[in-house]
Each structure stands twice: as C-alpha cells, then as structure tokens.
Amino acid sequence: MRRLFSVACLSLLAACASQAPRKYVVFFSNQSAELDQAGQEVVAQVAQEADKHPSRIVRVEGYAGAGKDLSADALVAIQRAKAVTAKLQADGVRSDRIVETPRAPSNLEGMVVGSRRVEIELTSP
C-alpha cells in the first residue's frame, strides 16, 4: 500500500511539474533589437511548444537597460518585444494568442546583460 501511495504521489508531482510555465529568454546585443541565430532558435522552440498547447497564451516581455536617454531605451524594449512577436507569428503562432509587454528601462546591479532580453512564457488564459 505504501508503494502504491508513493507511486501515486510521484505521478502527481510529475504532472504538476509538467504544467508549470517555463520562461524562455532571448538575449540581444547592446541597443539592438535584432534577433541573432540563437534568439531565433529559442523563439522557434517556443512556437513549437505553443503549437502543442493551443489554449495557452504566449506572453512576451521586452527589457532594456537605462542609459542617458530613457525614451530611446524604452523604444528598444518595445522593438525587442515586437521582434520576438514577429518571429513567433512567422513561426505560426496566431497574433491573438500573443500578449506583448515592454518593461521600463532599468539598471539593476549585476543585470547589465540581463536588461538586454525578452522573456517569453506560455501561460494559461
């Protein structure tokens, strides 16, 4: 009976783990919104996952570092999110499934590279 209970608990945990949303991260060069080969591969992987889960929403969050011109930095965050969204659509994800959100520019300590990113997540509606 204990063994059966243990197996049931492990199965339940595995099912929960497979349902947890995963964040995919695409990194960009400084002040760039152009997807490189590695970024295109990450976005293609997300598109494949989105195809497997047609009821999920694809959330795209664009980030940029804060420099001297916050307006230009905010524009870079928007352009990065739009570049990822365009690639997702080119890879077959319908636009009505994508929620695009640019984030305010910031320079958190230790986040120089991290601020040059887009995060993508598949979530339940």
Low-confidence ranges of the chain (pLDDT < 70): 1-20, 108-114
Find the length of the chain.
125
Predicted local distance difference test score (pLDDT) of residue 19: 56
Contact present, 6 and 102 (Cβ < 8 Å):
no
Contact present, 50 and 56 (Cβ < 8 Å):
yes
Residues 53-66: tens digit of each pLDDT:
999 999 999 999 88
Residue 16, in any domain of the structure? no
Residue 10, in any domain of the structure? no
Predicted local distance difference test score (pLDDT) of residue 108: 64
Residues 20-31: tens digit of each pLDDT:
578 999 999 988
Predicted local distance difference test score (pLDDT) of residue 10: 42
Residue 12, in any domain of the structure? no
> How many Å apart are CA 78 and CA 102, to the nearest integer?
5
Domain hosting 98: range is 22-121
Q: pTM for this one?
A: 0.79
Among 121, 107, 118, 112, residue whose Cα is nearest residue 61: 118
- The CATH number assigned to the domain holding 51 equals 3.30.1330.60
Considering its fold, how many domains does the chain have in total? 1
Residue 1, in any domain of the structure? no
Among 46, 48, 70, 73, residue whose Cα is nearest residue 62: 73
